[in-house]
Structure 1
């Protein structure tokens, strides 16, 4: 049996999703619904993996004062709680779902400040939570107080413990981790178009440009590079292979966490030892299937498998 997947989220959030018929700035709105979900990239990934039946541990840093939504999620989905508790509250992220445009507007509130001692506490937990050969995810932004190379530091720790590390972050933390990737190989990174452009320092207007940047990342020590392109699908680059996968999106109930669901699909495919084509199918099916769900949840397995079978793959 494969060891549990570990997800590390240093800056989790409680996602407050407000659904409106149409968002009109400067006017008063009456909300259709409001939902509160334990969130943060790694938490969302852990939730989707648990839905798929993959044993998973969720760790990182969590405010002790409002941890109840996280405790409830972990209990409901049998996710092992590996979080380090800090004094204070986990931040809240407000997400306004506009039914008319099918867009979501995010307002991310400030969160608690962490320090070197907090990161050191997370580093110490890795020795208890990670088994050799396990898949480990480092995901999301960094809280105030932690340096940009925090994920690079954790990736080096995970490599020393024999883990295969997946990275899903952006900006300076992504740049720092990729700079260190030659000495600390990363199993996978999943930037979106904007994040890849930010790393490349230039616009990447067409498919050839995106593919060249992804191959550059692969040459720098990343085993699998996945570039998510929203409704246009995703690029998958590994070894000498480059694949584009596409699947028409369903009408979304919520786009919140679709990218995190894609990461969960990648990890589920890696955990099963699937070839690149099957990893591509499963990750896109996870992302599209999640669009029909509120919160970090997947539909039933039969629905996900049916979506995976419909994914169109093109060799590039």
Structure 2
């Protein structure tokens, strides 16, 4: 079983406009809402790939129905705990003419500590050796930055694979639990290591990877956007994965889809090359569609991804 954890989901309100200027009255042509949250995105992609996945986390009672409608319509197994109030709303303003996107993200409601304890207890009671746990995204307002470390320790006790996709202080602390995989980009690595964000050579990046390992990281999938990704394997091997070719429609969720594709490879027991191909194919397929990619859209791209050992 694969479990995805979304502590801070969101309703993403997408606004499409042909012009957007700060400080002025702007008009838009189209808007729509989609359910968001990195862990939820991961679970939907895995469900599309027919993996056995359970989506868990926290949702506000006042606006939980859009999430439940999606879970029910897509037949995604879920077990969210509910708090009083609303799940946050994020606004994504897409300037189609300038090909720019502006995000205004909500912080979310404060969370009762009892809910988090209930979620941890659920994991302790249900995890079985060999399961995969994917914790992804930011943490709610007021929640301790140690929460992902605590989840990692539960995973270690249960002998499951722990994949973590987050940033900031919660990532720094969670590295102490030695997650199996993290998926940072260069900016996030610089944030963790308190280094200036700039262009680094491969040798400089490799030294940074060594520092991450000292902090507890085991396998690191370095996301490089249009330049693909580099996988630094725990055994010392390094792989370069290319990207899929297609027309960019919506980049939101492509990083989450990459995590899902990689986790699917682990779930199916694929070799590392095929696993990286699934990760890149899932990320690309989502970028080429309006929301999250289907199984066919992903699998049509898998063999087009070039993976080379460095």
TM-score tier after normalising by the smaller chain length: over 0.9
Q: CA RMSD in A?
A: 1.8
Kindly report structure 1 stretches of 4+ aligned residues shifted beyond 6 Å: none
Give 1:115-154 correspondences, 5 Å limit. 115-154=112-151
8 Å contact 1:135–1:165 — kept in the other structure? yes
Residue 190 (structure 1) aligns with: 183
8 A contact 1:265–1:285 mirrored in 2: yes
CA distance 1:44–1:278, change in 2 (3 Å): same
| Aligned equivalents of 2:133, 2:174: Cα separation in 1 | 15
| From 283, 288, 294, the counterpart of 2:284 | 288
Work out which of the residue numbers 219, 222, 229 in structure 2 matches 1:227: 222
Distance (Å, rounded) in 2 between the aligned partners of 1:250 and 1:26: 35
Q: Distance in 1 between matches of 2:22 and 2:278?
A: 38
Partner SS for 1:71:
helix
Q: Is 1:257 matched up with 2:250?
A: no
The Cα of 1:214 is off from its aligned counterpart by 2.5
Per-residue deviation at 1:50?
A: 0.9
Corresponding residue number in structure 2 for 1:9:
6
> Is the CA contact (8 Å cut-off) linking 2:56 and 2:78 kept in structure 1?
yes
Aligned runs of 1:238-277 on 2, under 5 Å?
238=233, 239-247=235-243, 249-277=245-273
* 1:16-55 equivalences in 2 (<5 Å): 16-55=13-52
Structure 2 spans left out of the alignment, 5+ residues: none
- Give the equivalent residue in structure 2 for 1:56: 53
Q: Is the 8 A contact 1:103 1:255 kept in 2?
A: no
Moved more, 275-284 or 218-227: 218-227
Q: Residue in 1 aligned with 2:160?
A: 163
TM-score by length of 1: 0.91
Asked whether 1:299 is paired with 2:294, we answer: yes
User: Does the aligned pair in 1 maintain the 2:49–2:294 contact within 8 Å?
Assistant: no
Conserved? CA contact 1:115–1:145, under 8 Å? no
| Alpha-carbon distance between aligned partners in 2 of 1:5 and 1:293, rounded to the nearest angstrom | 25
1:215/1:237 contact within 8 Å kept: no
Match of 2:231 in 1: 236
Whole-Å separation in 1 of the counterparts to 2:268 and 2:168: 30
Confirm whether residue 310 of structure 1 aligns to residue 304 of structure 2: yes
Structure 1: gaps of 5 or more residues: none
Aligned twin of 1:205: 199
Distance 1:242 1:216 in 2: 16
Q: Distance in 1 between matches of 2:275 and 2:27?
A: 41
- Distance across 1 between alignment mates of 2:308 and 2:24: 45
Once structures 1 and 2 are overlaid, which stretch shifts more, 135-144 or 27-36?
27-36
Structure-2 change in CA distance of 1:110 and 1:312 (3 Å): same
Structure 2 distance, partners of 1:107, 1:133, is 38
Determine if contact 1:293/1:299 at 8 Å carries over to the other structure. Answer: no
Deviation by residue 1:92-132 (Cα, 9 ceiling, x = unmatched): 01111222343322100231101322211111111344222
Size of the aligned set, in residue pairs, is 307
Once the two structures are superposed, residues 56-107 of structure 1 have per-residue CA deviations (whole angstroms, 9 ceiling, x without a partner) of 1111111111001110111122211211111111000111122234332210
The answer as to whether partners of 1:102 and 1:252 remain within 8 angstroms in 2 is no
- Identify which range, 129-138 or 66-75, moves more after superposition: 129-138
